[in-house]
A and B are shown apart, each in its own frame.
Chain A
Amino acid sequence: MAGLKLTDIAKSYGEVEVLKNINLDVSAGELIVFVGPSGCGKSTLLRMIAGLEKITGGTLEIDGLVVNDVPPAQRGIAMVFQSYALYPHMTVRDNMAFALKLAKKSKSEIEAAVKKAADILQLAPYLDRLPKALSGGQRQRVAIGRCIVRDPKVFLFDEPLSNLDAALRVATRLEIAQLKESMPDRTMIYVTHDQVEAMTLASRIVVLANKGISQVGTPLELYEKPQNEFVATFIGSPAMNLFTGEIAGTGQQTSIKLDGGGFLASAYPTNHDDMGMKVKVGIRPEDFMPTEDPGTGFSGTVDVQENLGEVTLLFFVPVTPGAEPVIAKLPGIHLGMKGKKVNLTAKPEKVHVFSNGLSLLYR
């Protein structure tokens, strides 16, 4: 079925280089999510796959065929745009039928395809309405319906939920997940800003940064074993805490002496050449836990406390001089922590170590 293969894809607008060295293998039936900071080229990459943007370097294969110069309509793809891009002068029915009419499909065939898509998306009552008479969520479904009727090999979504409100976003996200499940052999590529969308929908996430791919992996791989500092801080909210230090003990476990004082153990293995290496230590806010032993972690007075109900966020600067501020996330409600002294540490397997921005795990 429809795999996708990107080899050394590059994009530049004249002098301006936007993307380079993009290598990615997508097998049929995957749901790939592109995430990355604003302006990193997610939309550009998606539009290159769609054929709306010229590929300035490398090759793009869909189903084993190089499609660099194939027009969008013949690539077997369909795209949902951020602003829905419904044709405002056509009814919902005509919006969905447009591509089939252009493809000169028979009337009965078109009708059957539209009806099927409308049933899947619960759009049947609205078929004769104009887009302006629909709510945001309904418009979004029409945009998806317009893709479904064409039965493409690859679905492309560019931030499809960003114009919806929070509640609708969750509902539509679930619908997209169900849609994917009902079409297990269809490939989907999905661009988003939203981490929750990325973590819940993706079979694999592609993190884009600095004109290239930062890491590709399943959501949990990215969360548990980030390849570099960028991915480590990009995935997860609030972002991972980073502390500078140097390696003080090597072996199956590594001991790190923090510049801010104190020692931490990490489950990342090292060898004795690494002794004294300047590193950065990363701990996710939710991986902190209270400890009685003051020598093994971070102690300080809580500056600010945020009660979110399910969790409590603590902001504090450790007492030791030169120490960086810490954000910790404790499960449940802890009232009256502000001004109190806390002592926090993390399990060795939750302590990430980076050198020169790269994880020591992937050396």
Chain B
Amino acid sequence: MHPALQGLVTIAIGVGGCMGYFYLSNFLLDRFLLPARALTAAEAATRRRLGTIFLLGVPGLLLAALYLAFFLPRGIFNVTGLFWMAVTALLIYGLWRLRDYVFANGELTAGRNISHANMIRPWLFLLPAIIALGLYLTYPVFETLRLSLTERVPGGGSRWVGLANYIQMADEPKFWEAMRNNMVWLVVVPAMSTLFGLLVAQLTDRIAWGSIAKMLIFMPMAISFVGASVIWKLVYDARPVDLDQIGIMNAIWVAVGGDPQQWLTLPFWNNFFLMAVLIWIQTGFAMVILSAALRGIPEETIEAAIVDGAGPFQVFFKIMVPQIMPTIVVVWTTITLVVLKVFDIVFAMTNGQWGTQVLANYMYDKLFRANDWGVGSASAMVIMLLVTPILVWNVRNARKEMR
């Protein structure tokens, strides 16, 4: 099949599936489980009996089959078996409570049925998303935590080692180099991106070719990190002295009388050359958001400030910036999250050599090159621990904004 056709079919299946799920959930809820009419006591009792079979019997049979096929042959009285038993028990308890919530005893009014159906409806709609997120997000977190506490046994299987992976990691200078670099990234990139974004947003606001300038500055957002790295590798490219320099950095450097430099190998400073790539990309993002925020400032407050005697800088720093402070914070933290996860740029440009290692690349090194899942997972946990507080804060801020 032609790829475009495949794409269309995928869209059709996806959208159709969503609509079908929506329709089916409503059908199940409004026709079947909680019809929008009054029920007599006798009717309710019959429904309760049928409902018990439906809600407990069907999953019960499935679970029994699963147990027979998977768990019994491996024994159920070990850690995994007990864990799954607990999960099963919880599931059955939940279904039992659900049955009581849906199928009550005695006479039922239409209003009760409708309100109960409306309580269940959002959860029913959310169910696929919750399952998918649980499977691809929540479960991996716990699995990574578990892996970070175990070690691979030669010949297959794993062994519990406690915090040994973390201790080993803490002894590695490469890890601390990655931590240090990440911290520098964390300070420099969000600050610079936000600052440049704000400057560009303000400076391009009133000029005729402002929107073209904005478009150009936004363009890097559309380039993948790896693509951007390739471009910037050319910027930093170095040729022997007797050849023409094709990298613009060296071209300028040689023109002002320097010797060609391998920029990406200069210790410490090479970090900043890498950061420049991310700043280049993120400035566009900051600019777009901040420019919208600047537009939202009431013109009259600026005029009032002018009448009050404020000069252009005072208007900008005392009137405009404070009014968009919440947006600046959101932009800043969003870029911070990107920075904490930065991997592609370092991977593609230096692969962490010459003192440019960062946490995500360190993790990749351990996990996929050294095949050491323990230390790899441990570094993944460190990244997560660093990201979480900022994420929580960011979400809180965003919520406050919405109110």
The residues of A with any CB-CB pair to B shorter than 8 Å are: 50-52, 71-74, 77-79, 81-90, 98-99, 102-103, 146, 150
> Assuming A72-B307, A79-B307, is B298 touching A85 (CB within 8 A)?
yes
Report the bound CA distance from A92 to B247 in whole Å.
56
- The residue in chain B whose Cβ has the minimal distance to the Cβ of A99 is B308
Report the bound CA distance from A133 to B300 in whole Å.
19
Among B307, B308, B314, B325, find the residue whose CB has the most chain A CB atoms closer than 10 A. Answer: B307
Residues on A with C-beta less than 8 A from B323 are 87-89
Residues on B with C-beta less than 8 A from A73 are 306-310
Distance of B96 from chain A, by nearest CB (Å): 49
Contact A98 B308 (CB under 8 A): yes
Answer whether residue B322 sits at the interface, using C-beta atoms and an 8 A cutoff. Answer: yes
Q: List 22 A-B contacts (CB under 8 A).
A: A52-B303, A72-B307, A72-B309, A73-B308, A79-B304, A81-B300, A83-B300, A85-B298, A86-B301, A87-B301, A87-B305, A87-B322, A88-B323, A89-B323, A89-B325, A90-B322, A98-B308, A98-B318, A99-B309, A102-B310, A146-B304, A150-B308
Answer whether residue B319 sits at the interface, using C-beta atoms and an 8 A cutoff. Answer: yes
Contact B307 A89 (CB under 8 A): no
- The interface size of chain B toward A, counting residues with CB under 8 Å, comes to 17
> Assuming A81-B300, A83-B298, A86-B301, is B322 touching A102 (CB within 8 A)?
no
Report the bound CA distance from A103 to B305 in whole Å.
12
Report the bound CA distance from A6 to B300 in whole Å.
25
Contact B309 A88 (CB under 8 A): no
Distance of A75 from chain B, by nearest CB (Å): 9
Report the bound CA distance from A290 to B349 in whole Å.
97
Which B96-143 residues have a C-beta within 8 angstroms of A? none
Known: A52-B306, A87-B301. 11 other contacts (CB 8 A): A71-B306, A73-B308, A77-B307, A79-B303, A81-B303, A83-B298, A83-B300, A87-B304, A89-B323, A98-B310, A98-B318
Contact B308 A102 (CB under 8 A): yes
Residues on B with C-beta less than 8 A from A146 are 304, 308
Contact B306 A85 (CB under 8 A): no
Report the bound CA distance from A72 to B307 in whole Å.
5
Which B274-330 residues have a C-beta within 8 angstroms of A? 298, 300-301, 303-310, 314, 318-319, 322-323, 325
> Do most interface residues of chain B lie in helix, strand or loop, or is the interface mixed?
helix
Please provide the 5 A-B residue pairs with the shortest distance between their CB atoms, ordered closest to farther.
Answer: A73-B309, A85-B300, A99-B308, A89-B322, A85-B304
- The residue in chain B whose Cβ has the minimal distance to the Cβ of A84 is B300
- The residue in chain B whose Cβ has the minimal distance to the Cβ of A80 is B304
Residues on B with C-beta less than 8 A from A99 are 308-309
Contact B306 A72 (CB under 8 A): yes
Distance of A18 from chain B, by nearest CB (Å): 18
- The residue in chain A whose Cβ has the minimal distance to the Cβ of B319 is A87
Residues on B with C-beta less than 8 A from A98 are 305, 308, 310, 318
Report the bound CA distance from A103 to B323 in whole Å.
22
Residues on A with C-beta less than 8 A from B310 are 73, 98, 102
Residues on B with C-beta less than 8 A from A77 are 307
Report the bound CA distance from A86 to B308 in whole Å.
12
Contact B303 A88 (CB under 8 A): no
Contact B314 A102 (CB under 8 A): yes
Distance of B93 from chain A, by nearest CB (Å): 48
Report the bound CA distance from A360 to B308 in whole Å.
47
Distance of A44 from chain B, by nearest CB (Å): 13
Among A71, A73, A82, find the residue whose CB has the most chain B CB atoms closer than 10 A. Answer: A73
Report the bound CA distance from A87 to B305 in whole Å.
9
- The residue in chain A whose Cβ has the minimal distance to the Cβ of B324 is A89
